[in-house]
Structure 1
């Protein structure tokens, strides 16, 4: 089992494992195999893992959060110079509070009443989504260079540094489940990934407690894997695999990657690797509230979603299928799967900034 950092999940029913990648680049074959085995063990049991001593420097992470704050400090008019496209086919540009609704419901058409009920609770967050500039399916929507000089150049560089770190994680997973090191990378060119800057504005704790607003409702990710960088405010919670519906804090470890298995990798692995539900809600510590209104501190996080190329076919991996455990899923392209999962998150028509109401 991977090394556990007890301070990272004190008093929790589950422990999120911690895997040290310091020996990955120059370690022996045995050391690399051990890292891979520990990582896969965490993916099979919890579905979440802290990764430390990865290739993204603390200085680069500090710069990324600084640029994120600069972006969200812009005026609404400046941020809306790069609006998220209408509908759910592209995840690029700026999404204002109330536009996106995170949910496990696949589509408004599957359960219209439930979808309508879920949309009555606004996800009080704003985001800015970035992809590869070579992605012809989801073109980037950049704010003008004069609005925030240097932003595009930094985020483009950071996007590819994240892909390099994610590539090592995919290599380790492949080794850990008995595949050739680059097996999974063959259909992960990096051009179908998503870098997301997330800002949760401050709001009264009572607004979350009464479910007038949500920060990020419980969900699983659609990707192969997600790498998350978070500030020290807290609020990320992971579902206890032994008590479904019960969530425990994923406490921040400075500069660590919080990596989790996505639904596609669970599907790929024939359910051997676990895509675990998680959410963002009230931070666990009382000192995160301030003033008579018990204002919840603002929170910043940066997830990076790693996905296969759009036309690639996802089918159960050869080492995860046997006569005793036949394939549970039919093959599907990443593009087909993405369309199926994205329909609920964004309405068919754009919504008015700040209201969450269709116009």
Structure 2
């Protein structure tokens, strides 16, 4: 296994959760920073109110993982796809999820999900996509968030039979959004802010199609809002807009997909609790919405209701959003900004209001 001293890591993807950060290395190993779900082994009882310690800013290798292909950091719980296409889970959770009663920071195998290509961790809600594009969901079934019939409030992994072949999935607060191989969207679960994009506020317990005029390439979900990038580099948003996270100040929520204006083509989006990020094809990054921890990276704590370019940040090739911290893979550096209350951004300050490098990368 690699050492940590003076190494320059090859990071291929990043993921942000409640207060943890994960980085997947080319070797298939996983690095973690922050609190629960980071892979930092702690005593059996986790003090979730404990103050940040300097030692917590150092990254750790998660378990003895190698050959991994996909990662996802959720609400204190994280998932990974192993070399054998199996799914492992670790972190801290107040309830037993999907048959797992006791959580640990040591990765544990989830039974019933095999041949997996992608995993997504939410809050008490999880999903995986297998090699054939079939979606499995498990966890709390509030508002029909599992998208399949289940008599259990807290259900074990099962497939959603009604969906076509899926390439991507995103999880918000008690809802899910999936992207099909042919660029269409389906959503289900809670719809209290119009986050299903169906033109109303009624929940859906089974997948429903979202009407969009164009093929979609990628999606992201915040707590109660959704962003989607089209094949032409345009961005659509819907759901909660209380903090301007949909790029306007006109309405507290938007229940149909709405075009968000940018001065250039967008390659990818990310969404945190009530804020949004977009990475342009040029490598520039835009931010808007809630900014209580400086997670917009603009040097202050003021919310924005229009996408605003983050100064002095360019050459970015990937972005990710945690609950209240943001991440980017830049030129030779892994950067982070926003909340650092659990050391999820390394040795940054508690509220890091501008992008700060915390890992040298190749």
Pick the structure with greater CA Rg: 1
Length-normalised TM-score, structure 1: 0.24
* TM-score, scaled relative to structure 2: 0.24
Decide which structure has greater helix share.
1
